[in-house]
C-alpha cells in the first residue's frame, strides 16, 4: 500500500534520510524504531508531504506522493498524528473532530464510530481542546485522525506522557484498525508496547534503515533491540 523507495531528505545542507526504503501493507502495523534523532519523525513528515525528498519515490497504491502538498496526501487517505499532538486548542472537542470529517467529506457515522472508540470524548464535546488533560488530548488527536477514515495512519509517539492503562487502551484501538484494513506506521519510544501490536519492526539508525524483524524474531534474538534502541531484555 505505502512504499518508500530510496528516499533522501535534507534539512538545509544536512542529509537526514539516506536512501530509506520501507513499506506498509493494508491491515499491517509497522513499528519504526530508532534512537533520538535517528530520523523517525522525518520519515512521517516526508510521507505527509511536509518535507520534499531530494531523491527517491513515495507511493500509495501506485499514486506518487512525492510532489504532493500535505492536504492532497491527506485526501488520499493518509492521516498523521504528529509528535506532541497539535490540536486546535481554542476549538471545542467537537469542532476538532468535525475538522477531521470535513477534509475527507466523511459523515456522522464515522464520527459515531470514532466516538465509540474513545467514550471519554463524548462527555467533553463542548470543552475546549486546550483544557483537556494530556491523555485526553492524545485521544482527541488520534480520534481526529480517525475521523478522516484513513487507509493509512501515521502515529508519532502516541503513548508519550500517558498512563499505562491509557496506553493500553490506545494501542488496543490501533490494533483494532487492522480488521478494517487500515495500515499503521507507528513510531513509539515504548518499545515493548510497539512489539505487542506491530506485525513488523523497521529499525532506523542515522537516517538509514538498518534492519527489519518481526516481534517473534526479536523474542528469539533481541540483539537488534540492543543495537538500535539500546534496550536489553
Ligand X SMILES: Nc1ncnc2c1ncn2[C@@H]1O[C@H](COP(=O)(O)OP(=O)(O)OP(=O)(O)O)[C@@H](O)[C@H]1O
# binding residues, Mg ion (CB under 5 A): 2
11: partner contacted, choices ligand X, Mg ion, none (Cβ within 5-8 A by kind): ligand X
DSSP state of 69: -
Distance in Å, CB of 2 to ligand X, minimum = 17
Q: Is 110 in the site for Mg ion (CB under 5 A)?
A: no
Q: Is 41 in the site for Mg ion (CB under 5 A)?
A: yes
Closest CA to 152 of 59, 83, 215: 59
Query: Is residue 46 helix, strand or coil?
Result: helix
Task: Quickly list DSSP for 108-175.
Answer: HHHHHHHHHH-HHHHTTTTSBGGGS-HHHHHHHHHHHHHTT--SEEEEESTTTT--HHHHHHHHHHHH
Q: Is 46 in the site for Mg ion (CB under 5 A)?
A: no
Distance in Å, CB of 118 to ligand X, minimum = 25
Q: Residues 67-96 vs Mg ion: string with x where CB under 5 A?
A: ----------------x-------------
Distance, CA of 199 to chain centre = 15
Distance in Å, CB of 207 to Mg ion, minimum = 13
Are the beta carbons of 125 and 152 closer than 8 angstroms? no
Return residues touching ligand X (CB under 6 A): 11, 16, 34, 36-42, 83
Closest CA to 96 of 141, 30, 131, 56: 141
Distance in Å, CB of 18 to ligand X, minimum = 11
Distance in Å, CB of 146 to ligand X, minimum = 22
Q: Is 137 in the site for Mg ion (CB under 5 A)?
A: no
Neighbours of 172 (CB within 10 A): 12
**Quick one: 66 or 83, whose CB is closer to Mg ion?**
83
Amino acid at each position: 500500500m505505502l512504499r518508500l523507495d530510496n528516499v533522501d531528505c535534507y534539512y538545509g545542507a544536512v542529509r537526514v534520510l539516506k536512501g530509506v526504503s520501507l513499506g506498509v501493507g493494508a491491515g499491517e502495523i509497522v513499528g519504526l524504531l530508532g534512537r533520538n534523532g535517528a530520523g523517525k519523525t522525518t520519515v512521517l513528515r516526508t510521507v505527509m508531504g511536509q518535507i520534499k525528498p531530494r531523491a527517491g519515490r513515495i507511493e500509495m497504491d501506485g499514486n506518487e506522493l512525492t510532489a504532493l502538498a500535505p492536504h492532497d496526501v491527506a485526501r488520499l487517505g493518509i492521516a498523521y498524528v504528529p509528535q506532541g499532538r497539535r490540536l486546535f486548542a481554542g476549538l471545542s472537542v467537537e469542532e476538532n473532530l468535525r475538522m477531521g470529517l470535513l477534509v475527507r467529506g466523511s459523515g456522522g457515522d464515522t464520527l459515531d464510530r470514532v466516538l465509540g472508540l474513545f467514550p471519554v470524548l463524548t462527555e467533553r464535546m463542548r470543552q475546549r481542546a486546550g483544557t483537556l488533560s494530556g491523555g485526553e488530548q492524545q485521544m482527541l488527536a488520534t480520534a481526529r485522525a480517525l475521523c478522516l477514515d484513513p487507509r493509512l495512519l501515521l502515529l508519532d509517539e502516541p503513548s508519550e506522557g500517558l498512563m499505562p492503562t491509557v496506553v493500553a487502551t490506545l494501542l488496543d484501538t490501533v490494533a483494532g484498525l487492522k480488521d478494517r484494513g487500515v495500515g499503521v506506521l507507528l513510531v513509539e519510544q515504548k518499545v515493548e508496547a510497539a512489539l505487542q501490536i506491530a506485525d513488523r519492526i523497521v529499525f532506523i539508525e542515522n537516517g538509514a534503515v538498518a534492519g527489519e524483524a518481526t516481534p517473534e524474531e526479536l523474542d528469539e534474538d533481541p540483539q537488534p533491540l540492543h543495537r538500535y534502541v539500546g534496550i536489553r531484555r
